[in-house]
Amino acid sequence: MGIKLNTEYLKNFVSDVELSALTSAVTQAHKGLHEKTGAGSDFLGWVDLPSNTPDALVSELTALAKEVQAHSQAIISIGIGGSYLGIRSTLDFLGGDLKLPLHYAGHNMATADIVKLVKLIEQKHVTVVVISKSGTTTEPAVAFRIIDGAMKKKYSGDELKKRIICVTDEKKGALRQIADKAGYRSYVIPDDVGGRFSVLTPVGLVPLALAGVDIKAFVDGFRAGEKEYANTDMKQNICYQYAAIRNVLYRKGKVIEMMASFYPNVQYVAEWWKQLYGESEGKGGKGIFPASTILSTDLHSMGQMMQDGMRNIFETFIMIDKVADAVMIPTDPEDTDKFNCIAGKDLDWVNKQAYKATAEAHYEGGVPNLVITLDKADAFHIGQLYYFFEKGVGISGYILGVNPFDQPGVEAYKKKMFALLGKK
Ligand code: PA5
């Protein structure tokens, strides 16, 4: 069980001396997070959230899931950014059969998407989870108006109330007022946990439980991460090594971090990570630009740029050690394509050779890379990985000299849109 970090393809790019030089910055950052004295200290609730998450919440949501699964055929989850990506990332990563299919709304305002969801409400029994920490974000608010209207056409009274669940602030915001006035069930997002750090709060836990994810294992994964990545000795803490390495690379002009995976179920993990790192570090003219590729697919579109383009990139591979199924490559008696050399080999072994070849070729082409390997693609490991990246960006952002816990740039577009819409 666990997560490993392989740094063999950093040789000649990051030295032990350069890493040691960051030891005191890492120690300071650790203190800032754990003693809650660093920049943005009002939003450090996520640091000890795993151990502060009550087992009673897990039991309550497991019971809620049973109830909803008994009366619903689908879930609609409304939210954007931190109120969307962690849910999608987890469900895509885990794959497999869900107890209930989950549909997303509120992360765009495309008419075609919402029309499909209104039809779904007409045709099937649905439960809606509407998520917004601020309770005022335009996209989910607009989507909820339309979906709430469709739900009210079909259901009323207690039937309606049991099918709409709000996840929002305890006191503030329009969604809190709507929930209280309509008598919808609601769950609270703690004040001191920012949107992109909130997947372990009811933001993630409610929809994931309803869809049928083992949220106990998910919480346990976070708890394992909290314990493992609290080690103040950087040599023994791969999370702090990751944070320090990316800062050494950044200072040498590697200003783009490409998350790459040979496993397509990692695509939305990368989207979640892009929000976490982009919103946390992209400030005051600083920041490593987070980008992502899914391989082998993108080797035939982005491969040329990675191998041979501007040398301002480093790569972070996400690998999975043990995959669930084995698929053997068949033998072809004629061997026309000359691939009998791999006949009898497992497809995942071939996939891993593609990774090795790519990591080596990119490294030789001037792209250093790190490899994060998860033992398995299950709820425990994705929980641990989320905590790894949350802690990683806290440490990395402090080394970089930014407040990783605000997002003034996101607010700027919101204000302009409110003005265009005439919202008071
Ligand atoms: O990280 C953040 O706080 C933001 O990106 C939010 O997740 C995003 O803007 C959605 O906000 P809300 O949940 O308030 O609707």
pLDDT in tens, 31-62: 999 999 999 999 999 999 999 999 999 999 99
Distance 364 CA to ligand 1 centre (A): 40
- Residues 337, 343, 346, CA angle at the centre, nearest 5°? 125
Mutate which of 42, 77, 78, 83 to test ligand 1's pocket (most atoms within 8 Å of Cβ)? 83
Compute the half-sphere exposure of residue 358: CA atoms within 13 Å on the CB side of its CA: 31
Nearest-CA residue for ligand 1 atom 12 is 132
Task: Tell me the three state secondary structure of residue 6.
Answer: strand
Task: Tell me the three state secondary structure of residue 205.
Answer: helix
H or E segment at 409?
Answer: helix 408-421
pLDDT recorded at residue 410? 85
Task: Tell me the three state secondary structure of residue 256.
Answer: strand
Tokens 């962690």 -> residue: 86
Q: Point out the ligand 1 atom lying closest to the alpha carbon of residue 168.
A: 13
pLDDT at 423 over 90: no
Cβ–ligand 1 contact at 82 (below 6 Å): yes
Task: Tell me the three state secondary structure of residue 225.
Answer: helix
Distance 93 CA to ligand 1 centre (A): 22
Q: What are phi and psi of 66, to 5 degrees?
A: -60, -45
Given a contact cutoff of 8 angstroms between Cβ atoms, the answer to whether 11 and 24 are in contact is no
Nearest-CA residue for ligand 1 atom 5 is 81
pLDDT recorded at residue 63? 98
Other C-beta atoms lying within 10 Å of the C-beta of residue 47: 21
Residues 6+ apart with CB under 8 A from 299: 306, 354, 358
Mutate which of 43, 78, 80, 87 to test ligand 1's pocket (most atoms within 8 Å of Cβ)? 80
**Bridge partners of residue 303, in order along the sequence:** none
First to last CA, the chain: 52
pLDDT at 411 over 90: no
Given a contact cutoff of 8 angstroms between Cβ atoms, the answer to whether 367 and 311 are in contact is yes
Across the range 130-153, mean pLDDT stands at 95
Across the range 368-384, mean pLDDT stands at 97
H or E segment at 243?
Answer: helix 238-251
pLDDT tens-digit readout, 7-19: 999 999 999 999 9
Query: What confidence tier does 409 reach under pLDDT thresholds 50, 70, 90?
Result: confident
Distance 410 CA to ligand 1 centre (A): 9
Q: Point out the ligand 1 atom lying closest to the alpha carbon of residue 189.
A: 13
Cβ–ligand 1 contact at 132 (below 6 Å): yes
pLDDT recorded at residue 323? 96
Nearest-CA residue for ligand 1 atom 2 is 195
Across the range 70-80, mean pLDDT stands at 98
pLDDT recorded at residue 96? 80
| Rama region for 389: left / alpha / beta (φ>0; ψ in -120 to 50; rest) | alpha
Nearest to 404 by CA among 290, 292, 283, 316: 283
pLDDT tens-digit readout, 54-74: 999 999 999 999 999 999 999
Quick one: DSSP state of residue 310?
-
Q: What are the E-state strand segments in 343-422?
A: 369-374
Nearest to 272 by CA among 113, 418, 143, 387: 387
Return mean pLDDT, the chain. 96
Q: What are phi and psi of 38, to 5 degrees?
A: -75, 175
Nearest to 404 by CA among 413, 389, 394, 414: 394
pLDDT at 155 over 90: yes
Cβ–ligand 1 contact at 83 (below 6 Å): yes
Q: Rounded CA gap, 365 and 361, in Å?
A: 6
Cβ–ligand 1 contact at 407 (below 6 Å): yes
Cβ–ligand 1 contact at 390 (below 6 Å): no
pLDDT at 1 over 80: no
Tokens 């929000």 -> residue: 275
Distance 81 CA to ligand 1 centre (A): 5
Q: What are phi and psi of 278, to 5 degrees?
A: -65, -50
Tokens 């335009």 -> residue: 138
Q: b/e string for 339-368 if b means 16 or more Cβ within 10 A?
A: eeeeeeeeebeebbeebeebbeebbeebbb
Cβ–ligand 1 contact at 410 (below 6 Å): yes
Cβ–ligand 1 contact at 198 (below 6 Å): no
pLDDT recorded at residue 16? 95
pLDDT recorded at residue 136? 87
Across the range 392-404, mean pLDDT stands at 98
The residues carrying an active-site annotation are 279, 300, 414
- Measured in whole angstroms, the distance separating CA 175 from the mean position of its chain's CA atoms is 24
pLDDT tens-digit readout, 263-290: 999 999 999 999 999 999 999 999 999 9
